[in-house]
Amino acid sequence: MGDTPTSIELLGKAESIVIPTDYALLEELFAAANGSTGTRLLRAYAAMIGLCCPAVGRMSKASYSAHGYDPIAYGRQVYSWLHDQKVSIAEVSTAGSVLYPLILLAAFPRADEVSEAVGK
């Protein structure tokens, strides 16, 4: 995939990216964003930010489990917190656009990555 980003610019600083390894979570995040537009997409991106950038997730005080493991409901709380911190819609969209392909590749690896992993 070339140079994989390790951080996103948010809140005036670089926030470290830690892609979750839980397949179900990755699939939920992918499904929330896939085909979404408008506010639903922004909430999906905010969920990705909160769950893939641990410091942001902690600062937002949002809990994925408290929202019934629903990425849109969780993302709504993270998005509201980001808005309160004066993070723009453009910044949320940019960060989400960085995280989305990383989540996609973590959930659904490419054929060459699978072959390499099995030693072929």
pLDDT, one tens digit per residue, over 95-114 is 999 999 999 999 987 777 66
Residues 28, 70: Cα–Cα separation, whole Å = 8
Q: Which residue range(s) make up the domain with 47? A: 37-106
Report whether 18 contacts 5 (CB < 8 A): no
Q: Is 6 part of a structural domain of the chain?
A: no
Is residue 23 in some structural domain?
no
Choice among 7-11, 84-88, 110-114 with the minimum mean pLDDT? 110-114
Counted domains in the chain: 1
Mean per-residue pLDDT, 68-80 = 98
Mean pLDDT of 32-38: 96
Nearest to 41 by CA among 104, 114, 95: 95
CA angle 38, 39, 45 (to 5 degrees): 95
